[in-house]
Amino acid sequence: NAGVTQTPKFRVLKTGQSMTLLCAQDMNHEYMYWYRQDPGMGLRLIHYSVGEGTTAKGEVPDGYNVSRLKKQNFLLGLESAAPSQTSVYFCASNDRDSAGYGYTFGSGTRLTVV
């Protein structure tokens, strides 16, 4: 059971380039989330989804877009990368039944924008 898988694990982008981060979960969870983690800031929610075909903005959505075309996948896109988007990105999932048990996180994507 793989849990939550994120790809890629590392990436270096030039300012203005675009990329997509993929999150895949095999636990049939309804809810999926994208967070970024920066030193001294903790984990901040970018976007989330409460089911296939739905997305919603979190605390820091600007500069990012997301899609949830299939229940098991949640994609995070950066259309025009900026140095301020240098961060570690974590995907997480859970569902109504497991909400009391917290999230399952992916192993993270380390993104550097130069």
Partner 1 sequence: RKEVEQDPGPFNVPEGATVAFNCTYSNSASQSFFWYRQDCRKEPKLLMSVYSSGNEDGRFTAQLNRASQYISLLIRDSKLSDSATYLCVVTNTGNQFYFGTGTSLTVIP
101 backbone dihedrals φ, ψ, rounded to 5°: -110, 10
Neighbour tally for 93: CB within 10 Å: 26
Residue (17 or 95) nearer to partner 1, CB: 95
Contacts of 105 (CB under 8 A, 6+ apart): 4, 90, 91, 92
Residue (58 or 63) nearer to partner 1, CB: 58
Tokens of 87: 């961060």
Residue (64 or 103) nearer to partner 1, CB: 103
Rounded to 5°, the CA angle 94-110-13 comes to: 125
Sites of contact with partner 1 (CB under 8 A): 31, 33, 35, 40-45, 48, 50, 58, 90, 92, 94, 96, 99-103, 105-108
